[in-house]
Amino acid sequence: FAGFCAVLALTAATTAGCGGDSGGSGSKSLDLITGVKSDPFYITMTCAAQQEAKKRGVKLTVNGSAQWDVAVQRPIIDSVAATHPGGLLISPVDTAALTPSLQQIQNAGTKVVLVDTEVSDASIGVSRISSDNEAGGRTAAKSLAQLMGDKGSAIVISVKPGVSTTDARIKGFNEEMKANHPGITLLPVLYDNDLPATAASQIQSTLAAHPDLGGVFAGNTNTAQGISTGLQAAGKQGKVKVAAFDAEPDEITALTNGTLDVLVAQDPGAIGRQGVDQALAAIDKKKVTAHIGTDMVAITKANMDQPDIKKFFYQA
The nearer residue to ligand T6T, 30 or 41, going by C-beta atoms, is: 41
Among 221, 274, 278, 315, binds ligand T6T (CB under 6 A): 221
Partners of 265 in beta bridges: 297
Q: Using CB under 6 A, which of the segments 18-26, 98-106, 219-227, 249-257 binds ligand T6T?
A: 219-227
The H or E element containing residue 259 is none
- The answer to whether 42 touches 36, Cβ cutoff 8 Å, is yes
245 binds ligand T6T (CB under 6 A): yes
CB 247 within 8 A of CB 263: yes
Q: Which amino acid, one-letter code, is at 124?
A: I
* Shortest spacing between CB 42 and ligand T6T, in angstroms: 6
Shortest Cβ 101–ligand T6T spacing (Å): 18
Within 104-143, the residues that bind ligand T6T by CB under 6 A are 116-117
Indicate the residue among 68 and 126 with the shorter CB distance to ligand T6T.
68
The only residue of 31, 39, 167, 192 in contact with ligand T6T, by rule CB under 6 A: 39
Residue at 160: amino acid letter = K
* Smaller CB separation from ligand T6T, 184 or 265: 265
> Counting runs of H as helices and runs of E as strands, what totals does the chain give?
11, 13
Q: x/- site string to ligand T6T, residues 259 to 298, per CB under 6 A?
A: -------x--------------------------------
CA 176 to chain centre: 21
Q: Closest by alpha carbon to 290, among 301, 276, 304, 278?
A: 278
Strands (E), 30-102: 30-36, 60-65, 87-90
Instruction: Give the residues lining the site for ligand T6T (CB under 6 A).
Output: 35, 39, 41-42, 116-117, 165, 220-222, 245-246, 266
